[in-house]
């Protein structure tokens, strides 16, 4: 008479605990409408933190934008300081905000590991975030994009070179060409003054070969690239704009010295937009320093969310 109620109590407790476990398991799925940390996205060789914004207005088969912060920045800072979360609500895509694991929060765009496809560096961790998100949300793999500012722009170019199969397009705000920060000591998160001061100058063909060597043997499609830079940038000198444009013009086989068009005062007064072909466009902002503004609506056009 006493054993049966006890057994029933234990059974009910077990069922309740199981239900709670399932509920807790579901609670690990990122909530919509807020910046959420994801810790179980797969192999993370360099301990890069993953944060994600899933909009309340999530599209079926959504697109993905990887938005990469600057030195001294964080995922939270880039979430708050860039327009992508607000634009996600309008267009239904998901935003991934990686966060650098290093003191000073610059990105590793200097080690051979990060400059190699599946090499075990920061780029590898970010690529795994994209794969997890694509699978978790049944995202449209043809609508995956990457963008960033400063060190994040450097990583944008590196991601486009190391994982070209993942991205349809990229936008780099005030960065350097992929491979320009290569450390001769193979040091992660290293600063390269030669590159930052605009002294790493070479041909489009050479820059293209550097990018292509980051994924040996790859012969598939590559992301179209848009490059923003300020003409008065004193942190990453303006020559880096030209070298980055050379790199992607070389990758796509465009004649760097003969662009298709050059438009003055576009998209703003004293800015100049140069188009080498449908896959490479550069925007040089006259008189603007390193703190160049993000043009969110124009980004949506480059990424194909608006016409």
pLDDT at 13: 40
pLDDT at 159: 99
Q: pLDDT class for 28, splitting at 50, 70, 90?
A: low
| DSSP-derived 3-state class of residue 10 | helix
Q: pLDDT class for 189, splitting at 50, 70, 90?
A: confident
Q: How many CB atoms lie within 10 A of CB 93?
A: 28
Give domain limits for the chain: 34-303
| DSSP-derived 3-state class of residue 154 | helix
pLDDT in tens, 29-45: 799 999 999 999 999 99
Q: pLDDT class for 50, splitting at 50, 70, 90?
A: very high
pLDDT in tens, 56-108: 999 999 999 999 999 999 999 999 999 999 999 999 999 999 999 999 999 99
State the Cα–Cα distance between residues 172 and 281, nearest whole angstrom: 11
Q: pLDDT class for 21, splitting at 50, 70, 90?
A: very low
pLDDT in tens, 146-188: 999 999 999 999 999 999 999 999 999 999 999 999 998 999 9
CATH superfamily of 34-303: Alpha/Beta hydrolase fold, catalytic domain (3.40.50.1820)
Backbone angles phi, psi at 288, to 5 degrees: -95, 140
Q: Which residues contact 167 (CB under 8 A, 6 or more apart)?
A: 144, 145, 146, 159, 160, 223
pLDDT in tens, 290-300: 999 999 999 99
Give pTM, 2 decimals.
0.90
| Catalytic machinery residues | 150
Per the CB < 8 A criterion, the answer to whether 61 and 144 are in contact is: no
pLDDT at 205: 98
Mean pLDDT of the chain: 92
């Amino acid at each position: 008479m006493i054993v049966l109620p006890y057994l029933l109590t234990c059974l009910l407790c077990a069922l309740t605990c199981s239900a709670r476990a399932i509920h807790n398991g579901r609670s690990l799925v990122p909530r919509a409408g807020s910046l959420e940390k994801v810790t179980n996205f797969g192999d993370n060789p360099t301990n890069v933190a993953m944060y994600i914004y899933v909009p309340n207005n999530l599209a079926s088969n959504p697109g993905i934008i990887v938005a990469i912060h600057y030195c001294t920045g964080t995922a939270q800072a880039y979430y708050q300081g860039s327009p992508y979360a607000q634009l996600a609500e309008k267009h239904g895509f998901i935003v991934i905000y990686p966060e650098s694991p290093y003191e000073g929060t610059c990105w590793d765009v200097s080690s051979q590991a990060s400059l190699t496809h599946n090499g075990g560096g920061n780029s590898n961790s970010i690529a795994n975030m994209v794969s997890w998100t694509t699978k978790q949300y049944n995202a449209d793999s043809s609508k995956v994009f990457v963008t960033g500012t400063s060190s994040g722009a450097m990583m944008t170019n590196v991601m486009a070179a190391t994982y070209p199969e993942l991205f349809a397009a990229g936008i780099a705000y005030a960065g350097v060409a992929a491979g320009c920060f290569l450390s001769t000591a193979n040091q992660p998160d290293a600063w390269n003054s030669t590159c930052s001061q605009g002294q790493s100058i070479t041909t489009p063909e050479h820059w293209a070969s550097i990018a292509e060597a980051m994924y040996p043997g790859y012969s598939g499609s590559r992301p179209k690239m848009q490059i923003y830079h300020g003409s008065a940038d004193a942190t990453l000198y303006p020559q880096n704009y030209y070298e980055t444009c050379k790199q992607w013009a070389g990758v796509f086989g465009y004649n760097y010295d003969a662009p298709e068009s050059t438009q003055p005062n576009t998209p703003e007064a004293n800015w100049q937009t140069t188009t080498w072909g449908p896959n490479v466009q550069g925007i040089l902002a006259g008189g603007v320093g390193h703190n160049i503004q993000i043009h969110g609506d124009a980004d949506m056009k480059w990424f194909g969310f608006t016409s």
